[in-house]
Structures are given as C-alpha cells and as structure tokens.
Amino acid sequence: MTRILLAGGCGFIGSHLADRLCRRGDLDELVVVDNLWTGRRENLVALSDPRVSLVEMDVEKFRSDQKFDEIYHLASPASPPWYMKEPLRTVSANVVGTLNLLDHLAEGGVFCFTSTSEVYGDPIVSPQPETYRGSVDCTGPRSSYDESKRCVEAILFEARRVYGTRIKVVRLFNVFGTRTRPDDGRAVSNFITQALRGEPITVFGDGLQSRSWGYIDDIVEALERYFWLDGVDHPGPLNIGNDREVSVIEVAQFINRMFPRSQIRFDPPVPQDPSNRRPDLDRCNRLIPGWRCKVSYEEGVIRTVEWFTRELQVGVAP
Amino acid sequence: MTRILLAGGCGFIGSHLADRLCRRGDLDELVVVDNLWTGRRENLVALSDPRVSLVEMDVEKFRSDQKFDEIYHLASPASPPWYMKEPLRTVSANVVGTLNLLDHLAEGGVFCFTSTSEVYGDPIVSPQPETYRGSVDCTGPRSSYDESKRCVEAILFEARRVYGTRIKVVRLFNVFGTRTRPDDGRAVSNFITQALRGEPITVFGDGLQSRSWGYIDDIVEALERYFWLDGVDHPGPLNIGNDREVSVIEVAQFINRMFPRSQIRFDPPVPQDPSNRRPDLDRCNRLIPGWRCKVSYEEGVIRTVEWFTRELQVGVAP
C-alpha cells in the first residue's frame, strides 16, 4: 500500500511529476493538494487515473488522519512577478507548508522537496556546486522566494539530523516547457506568448544575463530517477539542470527569428536579477549517471511554442 | 493609548528590553508573550509594573482581538545547543511567529525584530557591513537559527515593500551578561558557570575564533535609542554590537585568571563555528550617533560573574 502526497500537483512541474508517479505500478493512492494559486486544474491530466484525487486547499491547512509514505512538496509560485506580489503567502506555502506536511509523513517515509538554484542568489562562483553557500540578499525583492527555499532546506536537513527523517532535496535550474501559465512571467514563456500575440518581446536589462534552460521532460526524468526509480540513497541537495549556459537575449533572438513580426524591446533591468546561473553537475552525474538534459533550448522552445499555440487558441490566456 | 506587544520578554535580552519599555511614560499596556522555553519568568522583573502582563504561550499561537502599536519579536532561542536540539521549533518561533504577529500590528504600527550576526554565517568579509550577503550553509547544523532569522528579515522587508509595513530590524552581535541561563551554553556564560563550579573551562576548537562581545546594558541602550528614543526612521538592518574583536580563548583565560582553581580544557570544535565576527558600525554611528559599547568584556564579565554567583547560590542552576 503506497500512499503518496503531492503538494502543488496542478502546477507546471508538479503536474508533470504527477504523470510520472502514475506510471508506477506500486502506487495505490496519490493525493494532490493544490490551492490553484499558480497551478491550474487542467494541468492535472493525471486526475483521470482513479488512484488520483485532488484536494483544493492551501498546503499549510491540509489535514489528514492518514500518513503518507512519500511526500513531494512543490507547492510554491516560482515566477518572480507572482511571488513578489504575494511574498508572505510565498513564505507561508514553503515554510509553514513544510512544517505541516512533515506531520503527515509516515514513519520511515521520504520527504522530497524541489528547492531552487535561487538559493545561490547572484552567484560569484560559476558553475555553482551544491557546497556553494550562495549570495542572497535576505532583505531584497526576491527574498521571499530565495529565503523561504533556503529555510525549507534548513528545516529538512535539520529534521534529518535530529529526527532521522528521510529527505531528498533538489535544486532546479530554470525549467521551462509545456503547462507553464501564459501569464507566468518568466523569460521563455513571456517571449513565446508575446511573439504568438504579435507583441514586442520584452528583454529586461541588456539580456546578457545567462541562464541554464532545462526542458521540463528532461527535468522530470531526473526527478523520477532520483526520487524513486534508481533507488538513490542521498539526501541532496542535488543540482538538476542544463549546464549549457545561454543568455536571455539569445533565447529572445531565437524566438524572434521564428516570429519575425515581433520586435525585441529592451525594458529596464529587474532588481537583483542574477547575472549568471549554471549548475555544477558533478554530484548529479554520480547519483543518476547517464542523465543529462537532452532537449536543447531550441528544440524545447519549438515544443513549447506548439503547446502555447494550442493553449492560447482555446482561450486559457489571462 | 500606546499598546505594546513583546514576544520573548522573559528571555535574556527580552527581559532587559521590558525594563526599558517600562521607563516610558507613554506606555499604557505591555503584553509579554513567552512560552518559557529558554526564557524564565523570574527574568521579567518588569511584571511588577501594573501596565505589564504575561501571556504564557507559543508566539505562533498567540491570538488577540486587540492590535498593537509596537511589536517586538525576540521570541527565539539564541544559543546553539538549544536551537540545534529543537530546530523545527526554532524555525516555527521565528517564521511562523512573525507571520502571526504581523496580523496583530495596528495600522501604522511598527514591527521590531532582533535578527542576528549569524545571518552572515562564517563571513569572508570583515568587519561585516549590513550589505554583506553572508556565507550560511542552509543545510548545516546551525541553519535552523541562521536561516529562520534570514527568512524573517525577508518577510519583514517584503511586507515593507509590498504593504508599506513599518519595520525595524537589528542584527545583534554576541550579547552577554546578566539574566543569561546558567545552562545557556554559549561561551561567556559557560565559562563563568564552569569556573564558579570549579569545573574545567571548556573551549571548543583552538579558541582562536573571534567574537565581538557586547554587554547587555550597552546593547539594550542601542535598542532603546533605535527603536523609540531617538525617533530614527530607518528599517535597518542595523548592526548592533561591539567592534572590539576578541578571541574566545582570551575570554577563557581572563575568567581563568579570576578562578585559578579551574583549568582550561580544549574540546573538539563545534561544527561550522564561525571563525570570526565583527560588526561594521558605520550605519549604526550614523543612525544613533555617539552610541558605542562602553562596557569592556573584562568589566562585563566581572558584572556577569557577580550576577551568576548570586543566581547559582539561590539554586536556579539546571
């Protein structure tokens, strides 16, 4: 009897993880908790699986008499405009959410958390190994996200040290792809929806800030292997991402070439936008050997454009 | 009608702050919330003031129909052995406590928070200015304290940015003095209680790690001036401490000379004990001009020894 709880399962990454969990023959029950703040019910196609149920609720408020053998906590906005608009709610979803969910973990169960490369802040070390302590301004406009992710890591590693809780923590680097909200607000999805609507493609700052774009299918494959498939016994934190570093302007130009009707517009830089971001994948290569991001950003963008084209036609736009 | 809430008012620093608050003629009501986890009821001598009341309760659970014009959140263990033993409770007191207390702030009220030099972690910059982003291992054994303080700073500065909440945040550097618990576990109080009991004075590591010892009377004077006396209008963060950097072994030797019967014993280093700590006081000198730590560590130790001598005689020892 394997009972799994997935918080944030209607979100971009969470819904893809739900699909993978449903491939498991040993899954008996998957409870998805989501308040549909940034998640969308239609993302959760896994809901057609009779083992899956959806509880529409804040993760902080979730209560159950049952315990879960595996808990996946992905309930958090991940896009700056979203978390910067409701920073306290962001901290609460992450930190209070984790404290609450830990109470629902069965004895010997495993708690999996998707942390972020944002724990490195604006890094002065590149690529970033997991041991790098980061450069986050804990009073800055991105701090609700960065610091609540750091705080959850602290909670989990301390729970492991003091209570022996089994944990698995990943730090995800700039994931993009299908099931992003049209109004998500991050670079790739922004550029695509702008281009599809014939609007200017807005680049913040000079666009020379670099990111490591990981396509969703590659990323969830890594999650699946690390969290359950490969039987990895390591708490992390584990960098997961693409170590091909690409500038924001390069992506904008690529999309612009697909949609020459749009023009690139340069807007003022976003405050404290990290100048670079690239995962050191040594640990990843050791723990899930052979895995790497296979989908280039070019191929990923093409797939995402196809998806958004369908999405925007059926009118899910904001 | 000035109504003030002080969380952690039975603690070491909190109880001294309560004394100062009671000097205010404009104070009508002071509600102290403390669960007596590390605080002690006998510290709160201010309770003899009829305007003061004590609510024995976790700060996360405090509820009131009244709003408060000023809220001081000092409810957190601050000594490594204490917070390392109950890390989740530490995060909860700080983070969940702050989220809860913010709901009790009157419109236009001010929220004051005692953060810590530990937000700088094991600093690679010395002295540490408030702009230094720190070097904290968010998965390490000190992270429940360091990261929850960082996370509360994030909450408050984001509340200020998004909701216009008035905040004042200080970062305190190694405060010591009267009303520390005999079993507090930090260097100065440890050394003194060990020496008073004729036990070995235990230094962790080689003792060359440095600290900036601030005597409690000096520190609460700075708090009083910044928080209300001087009418300062600045959210912080504000370093408050002594910028005379002294090694741990030097303090041990000083106490050893007072109690030659005890011997200094070297124990293995504490994991991730910061190697140095010294406040950059530029901002402090600007905001509360003329203030500085006047009590030397030698004088402070002598005063603390006198206090502990009385304490241990009346049997408050663990």
Gap from A23 CA to chain B (nearest CA, Å)? 32
- Asked whether residue B102 carries a pLDDT value surpassing 50, the answer given is yes
**Domain A2-173+215-240 belongs in CATH node 3.40.50.300:** no
- Asked whether residue B315 carries a pLDDT value surpassing 80, the answer given is no
What are the tens digits of pLDDT across the range B131-160? 999 999 999 999 999 999 999 999 999 999
- Confirm or reject contact between B148 and chain A (CB < 8 A): yes
- Confirm or reject contact between B99 and chain A (CB < 8 A): yes
Query: What is the predicted pLDDT for the residue at B313?
Result: 82
Query: What is the predicted pLDDT for the residue at B31?
Result: 98
CB-based burial, A179-209: b 16+ in 10 Å, e otherwise? bbbbebbbbbbbbbbbbbeeeebebbeebeb
Query: What is the predicted pLDDT for the residue at A316?
Result: 44
Gap from A28 CA to chain B (nearest CA, Å)? 31
Query: What is the predicted pLDDT for the residue at B318?
Result: 37
* Interface probe with B: pick from A105, A155, A275, most Cβ of B within 10 Å: A155
CA distances from A10 to A38, A73, A141, A175 (A): 8, 12, 26, 16
CA atoms within 13 A on the CB side of B249: 11
Gap from A90 CA to chain B (nearest CA, Å)? 10
Q: Is the separation of the CB atoms in A41 and A65 below 8 Å?
A: no
Q: Is B108 exposed, middle or buried (0-12, 13-18, 19+ CB in 10 A)?
A: exposed
Contact B91 A99 (CB under 8 A): yes
Q: Which amino acid is at A210?
A: S
- Confirm or reject contact between B238 and chain A (CB < 8 A): no
Query: What is the predicted pLDDT for the residue at B314?
Result: 61
Structure tokens given for A249: 């302007």
Q: How many CB pairs under 8 A join A and B?
A: 128
Q: What is the 3-state secondary structure (H, E, C) of chain A?
A: CEEEEEECCCCHHHHHHHHHHHCCCCEEEEEEEECCCCCCHHHCHHHHCCCEEEEECCCCCCCCCCCEEEEEECCCCCCHHHHHHCHHHHHHHHHHHHHHHHCCEEEEEEEEEEEEHHHHECCCCCCECCCCCCECCCCCCCHHHHHHHHHHHHHHHHHHHHHCCEEEEEEECCEECCCCCCCCCCHHHHHHHHHHCCCCEEEECCCCCEECCEEHHHHHHHHHHHHHHCCCCCCCCEEECCCCCEEHHHHHHHHHHHCCCCCEEEECCCCCCCCCCCECCHHHHHHCCCCCCCCCHHHHHHHHHHHHHHHHHCCCCC
Contact B154 A148 (CB under 8 A): yes
**Domain B2-176+213-240 belongs in CATH node 1.25.40.390:** no
User: Which residues of B are marked as active site?
Assistant: 145
Mean pLDDT of chain B: 96
Query: What is the predicted pLDDT for the residue at A317?
Result: 41
Domain boundaries, chain A: 2-173+215-240
- Asked whether residue B248 carries a pLDDT value surpassing 50, the answer given is yes
Place of tokens 């129909």: B65
Average pLDDT over residues B286-292: 98
3-state secondary structure of B303: helix
CA distances from B57 to B7, B8, B36, B60, B316 (A): 10, 10, 8, 8, 22
Spell out which residues of chain A touch residue B87, defining contact as CB-CB under 8 Å. 154-155, 158-159, 161-162
Distance between CA atoms of residues B145 and B136, nearest Å = 11
- Confirm or reject contact between A81 and chain B (CB < 8 A): no
List per-residue pLDDT tens for chain A, 318 residues long. Answer: 999 999 999 999 999 999 999 999 999 999 999 999 999 999 999 999 999 999 999 999 999 999 999 999 999 999 999 999 999 999 999 999 999 999 999 999 999 999 999 999 999 999 999 999 999 999 999 999 999 999 999 999 999 999 999 999 999 999 999 999 999 999 999 999 999 999 999 999 999 999 999 999 999 999 999 999 999 999 999 999 999 999 999 999 999 999 999 999 999 999 899 999 999 999 999 999 999 999 999 999 999 999 999 988 865 443
Q: Is the separation of the CB atoms in B231 and B164 below 8 Å?
A: no
- Asked whether residue B195 carries a pLDDT value surpassing 80, the answer given is yes
Contact A153 B144 (CB under 8 A): no
Query: What is the predicted pLDDT for the residue at A314?
Result: 62
ipTM: 0.96
Contact A155 B88 (CB under 8 A): yes
User: Of the candidates B134, B139, B155, which has its C-beta nearest A88's C-beta?
Assistant: B155
Query: What is the predicted pLDDT for the residue at A313?
Result: 82
Contact A119 B138 (CB under 8 A): yes
Average pLDDT over residues B55-67: 98
Contact B88 A95 (CB under 8 A): no
**DSSP conformational letter for B286:** H
pTM: 0.97
User: Of the candidates A136, A138, A154, which has its C-beta nearest B91's C-beta?
Assistant: A154
User: Of the candidates B84, B158, B169, which has its C-beta nearest A88's C-beta?
Assistant: B158
